[in-house]
Amino acid sequence: MLRRLIESLESCPMVRRGEYNYFIHPITDGVPIVEPALLREVACAMVCVMDLAGVDKIVTAEAMGIHIGTTLSMMTDIPLTIMRKRQYNLPGEVAVHQSTGYSSGELYLNGIERGDRVAVIDDVISTGGTMRAVIAALEGAGAEIADICVVIRRGEADVGRPFTTLVSIEVDESGVHVVDTCR
Ligand SMILES: O=P(O)(O)OC[C@H]1O[C@H](OP(=O)(O)OP(=O)(O)O)[C@H](O)[C@@H]1O
Ligand SMILES: Nc1nc2[nH]cnc2c(=O)[nH]1
């Protein structure tokens, strides 16, 4: 079922970002091209593995959760909010610090009301810094996190809650290796 995702990961290019081996893939970078069939495969798998019962809103982080979150939202009719790297200063906006293996900055959550039941999705988890920031923001806003699903798990990050991943990978000098899948 995840044939396109697995094959494209195992043949994707990689660059160095400092000490970090950064793989480049349509789902995590939007380049070189996002094939509709791949996006469909990923979103269909998410619908299958996630508990979306009674979920009011899907939450993702800028930028590379957006195409996945949009597809999932269109398939399920659940509205989407995007945690932005830009501050809007709207009433109730929640700011949190995000750090990854190669960058750091702020993320801003809007559009969540106390008691909202939310599902969190993202393209990849590596250090877990982004997901911990998203969870902290949602807890700060008083949301109930119903489920968390990330397309690609790289490493063993702990975010303090269980989460589902579609595939687990290892990355070394020779490239990406898929070591586990959700089905
Ligand atoms: O587990 P972590 O180490 O936090 O890494 C995962 C995050 O890294 C990427 O985001 P990035 O901040 O690079 O922004 P982008 O989506 O705008 O490329 C990716 O989209 C995840 O959100
Ligand atoms: N594209 C991409 N995004 C990431 N986010 C965290 N690690 C990575 C990576 O290696 N590649």
Complex ipTM, two decimals?
0.97
Cβ–ligand 1 distance for 100 under 6 Å, the answer yes
Residue-by-residue DSSP string for 60-118: EETTTTHHHHHHHHHHH---EEEEBSS----TT-EEEEEE-SS-EEEEEE-S--TT-EE
pLDDT at 48: 97
Chain segment 122-143, per-residue pLDDT in tens = 999 999 999 999 999 999 999 9
Cβ–ligand 1 distance for 123 under 6 Å, the answer yes
Whether residue 176 is predicted with pLDDT greater than 90 in this model: the reply is yes
pLDDT at 101: 87
Whether residue 183 is predicted with pLDDT greater than 80 in this model: the reply is no
Chain segment 1-52, per-residue pLDDT in tens = 899 999 999 999 999 999 899 999 999 999 999 999 999 999 999 999 999 9
pLDDT at 141: 98
Domains and CATH numbers, the chain: 3-181 (3.40.50.2020)
CA of 117 to the centre of ligand 1 (A): 23
Ligand (nearest to CA of 61): 1
Chain segment 63-101, per-residue pLDDT in tens = 999 999 999 999 999 999 999 999 999 999 999 999 998
Task: Give the angle 125-30-143 at the CA atoms, nearest 5°.
Answer: 45
To test the ligand 1 pocket, which listed residue (20, 31, 99, 100) has its Cβ within 8 A of the most ligand atoms? 100
pLDDT at 16: 93
CA of 175 to the centre of ligand 1 (A): 19
